[in-house]
Amino acid sequence: MRVSQLLIPTLREVPAEAEVVSHQLLVRAGFIRKTAAGVYTYLPLALRVLKKIEKIVREEMARQGGQEILMPIIQPAELWQESSRWDVYGPELFRLKDRHGRDFCLGPTHEEIITALVRGEVSSYKQLPLLLFQIQNKYRDERRPRFGLMRGREFIMKDLYSFDMDEEGLHTSYQKMYEAYSRVYDRCGLKYRVVEADSGAIGGSDTHEFMVLAASGEATVVYCSSSNCDYAANVERANALYDQESSREEPESKREVYTPSQTTIKDVAVFLGEGREKTIKTLIYKTEDGLVAALVRGDREVNEVKLYNTLGCLQLELADAATIQDVTGAQVGYAGPVGLDMRIVADPEVNNMVNAIAGANKTGYHLVNVNPGRDFKVDTLTDIRMVQAGEPCPRCGSALDEAQGIEVGQIFKLGDKYSRALGAVYLDDKGQEQYIIMGCYGIGVTRTMAASVEQNHDQQGIIWPASIAPFQVVVIPVSTKDEAQVKMAEEIYNKLLQAGVEALIDDRPERAGVKFKDADLVGYPLRITVGSKGVKSGQAEVTERQTGETVMVPQQDIIYKVCDMLEKDV
RNA sequence: CGGGAUGUAGCGCAGCUUGGCUAGCGCGCUUGCCUUGGGAGCAAGAGGCCGGGGGUUCGAAUCCCUCCAUCCCGACCA
């Protein structure tokens, strides 16, 4: 195609509203435009990238026996009421009414639809296992869309659902998808890590997330630094290891100390000349079942996902200042477990502390020499803290490293949650009715595109991996006034097309600098430059976007050279 | 939903404090000349409901009220 005829509206300046680099570059390089908050239009270049990713996804799903279908975006409320998610899903569900007042929603996911389909069409074990997938727009009315394509309200997702007779079959399907996902991200040229994840309220047994490693990632993952161990987990999930030994210190008698205006762990520790690990952090949470105090060592952070799972509650949020004042009798910053009248959940580390420092529930005072058991009672003792880099791997004991990741895919074992709710059963070989065992597996297609940009860019612009680049090569005649250059560029361009290379020719009557800048910004893997010197010697330059390396290649060899260089990356 | 900020030409911004004549600048766009190896130069142009509504005033981009939109932080995220 010709750049002069393509809609590639590049911008010189960074759009003011774009914060993350993928958003900035995708807008600047003419890939996307915003239609509303969290809703984007994909321009020709973006659509080509998305189609490439989708093609890879389709091939890998098919390789594992997945069959493609297409389900509706608009879903009737009845199905969601059957699974009781109409009420549970909350305000994130886009809801609408038709002209008759009937309730519908825009699908954020398709478990209900597909389970209803399968319950109608599958009745025998002979029809299982079944792997069905689609690539479809999804809708989630995010409270706060942000980061461009990373967290949109409308996005493209591949979702596959597996239907098996039993857990063993589910495990096989799960393994297939694990394999398929690994191949998808490998082929997309992304550096990623598979991590154990929290299954959340869905309550499944196994779940893994596929994380593209990038500094801007919203998720934190920990992974084992040992080359012999492949442990990796989302910090929300990572289990903490605990020393069994408690301190040898002799418990001393508790006393109150005056700590004016020392309302943070750090301040109190410095003020009293102790380390933060000598303090107990007391956070008061509000749940639908009342208030709960969560205790962790002062140098640790509470892991709200673990706490949520421990409490089994539906709502969990930090109590507001007024509530804290009311229940502790002190301002925020002086809460402590001693004499606190509410359920107390403590991390095991807290239980091992001797002569600890804690808030006195009295403004301006802390207690020293606080000892768990003696001075306060813990109702629930369980892992509720965030694991940090440097801690021992729960599997092998080596130190853990930490990284930021963008969640681009996840795989879940659902079990019979939906088949039970919606009545999807089959008859086994003994004629017994059984619930179908399900799994679900998602890939964020638009997010994968953004994640690739986050991971592959430089000061000049995007650097697409060849496998998902919108075009693989751009041919640039330095001057469109020089007929010899134009002729040679056209010849090379046509030969590339004949060879099946996705090539563009930048035939705009722009100065060379403009065309180079645009080529770098858009991020074509290869650029072929035809200049006056090259024309004389019958050579053109081939420049690799990734490395910036340029080689002079005789015209007749260019096709081979290009194919050779692209092979390497494909 | 709480906190903060911003809405002025396609994009990036100034003007607003202290109201005043025709609303500016850079980039981009159009036309012509010129130029062609890293976002050239000269000249002439087009392009604005100053986010919407209401108010104050002789007069509002500017002051007041209100609504809307967008962005950031937090909360939230099967």
Give the pLDDT score at A87: 83
**Residue A234 beta carbon within 7 A of nucleic strand B:** no
Asked whether residue A314, judged by its CB, lies under 7 Å from any atom of the DNA or RNA strand B, the reply is no
Protein-nucleic contacts, chain A 481-500 to strand B, CB < 7 Å: 481-482
**pLDDT for position A129:** 97
Strands A130-139 and A67-68: parallel
Mean pLDDT (chain A) is 92
All structural domains of chain A, each given as residue ranges with its CATH number in brackets, are: 3-238+402-453 (3.30.930.10), 255-381 (3.90.960.10), 471-569 (3.40.50.800)
Report which of residues 334-393 in chain A place their beta carbon less than 7 angstroms from any atom of strand B.
none
Q: For residue range A211-233, what is the model confidence (pLDDT) as tens digits?
A: 999 988 888 999 999 999 999 99
- Residue matched to tokens 């079942």: A289
Average pLDDT over residues A417-432: 96
Confidence of residue A33 (pLDDT cuts 50, 70, 90): very high
Cα A467 from Cα A564, distance rounded (Å)? 14
- Tell me the nt nearest to A28, Cα to C1': B11
| Torsion (CA) A14, A17, A23, A28 in degrees, nearest 10 | -30
Residues 495-534 of A with CB under 7 A from strand B: 509-514, 516-521, 529-534
Q: Is A65 left (phi over 0), alpha (psi -120 to 50) or beta?
A: left
**Nearest nt (C1') from A11 Cα:** B11
pLDDT of residue A203: 52
A27 touches strand B (CB under 7 A): no
Q: Does residue A570 register a pLDDT over 60?
A: no
- Verify if strand B has an atom below 7 Å from the CB of A73: no
For residue A22, give the nearest of A217, A193, A219, A190 by alpha carbon: A217
Phi, psi dihedral angles at A343 (to 5 degrees): -65, 135
- A288: tokens are 């639908």
Read off the pLDDT band of A245 (50, 70, 90).
low
For residue A351, report the phi and psi dihedrals to the nearest 5 degrees: -65, -25
A248 touches strand B (CB under 7 A): no
Tens-digit pLDDT profile for residues A447-499: 999 999 999 999 999 999 999 999 999 999 999 999 999 999 999 999 999 99
Concatenated DSSP letters of A315-347: -EEEPPHHHHHHHHSS-TT---STT--SEEEE-
Q: What is the b/e burial string over A261-282, where b = at least 16 CB atoms within 10 angstroms of the residue's CB?
A: ebbebeebbebbebebebbbbb
The reply to whether A430 Cβ lies less than 7 angstroms from strand B is: no
CA distance A247 to A422: 54
pLDDT at A112: 95
Q: Extract the tokens encoding A249.
A: 């210190």
Question: What band does A326 get if pLDDT is binned at 50, 70 and 90?
Answer: confident
Looking at the predicted structure, is the pLDDT value of residue A560 above 70? yes
Lowest mean pLDDT among A121-130, A284-293, A525-534: A284-293
Of A566, A568, A478, A479, the closest CA to residue A524 belongs to A566
The distance (Å) linking the CA of A223 with the C1' of B32 is 64
Task: Please tell me whether any atom of strand B lies within 7 Å of the Cβ of A552.
Answer: no
Residue A457 is encoded by which pair of tokens?
């860019």
What is the tens place of the pLDDT at every residue in A276-310? 889 999 998 888 788 899 999 988 888 888 888 88
Q: Nearest protein residue to B78's C1' (by CA)?
A: A202
The residues pairing with A60 across neighbouring beta strands, listed in sequence order, are: none
What's the token pair of residue A144? Answer: 């706060």
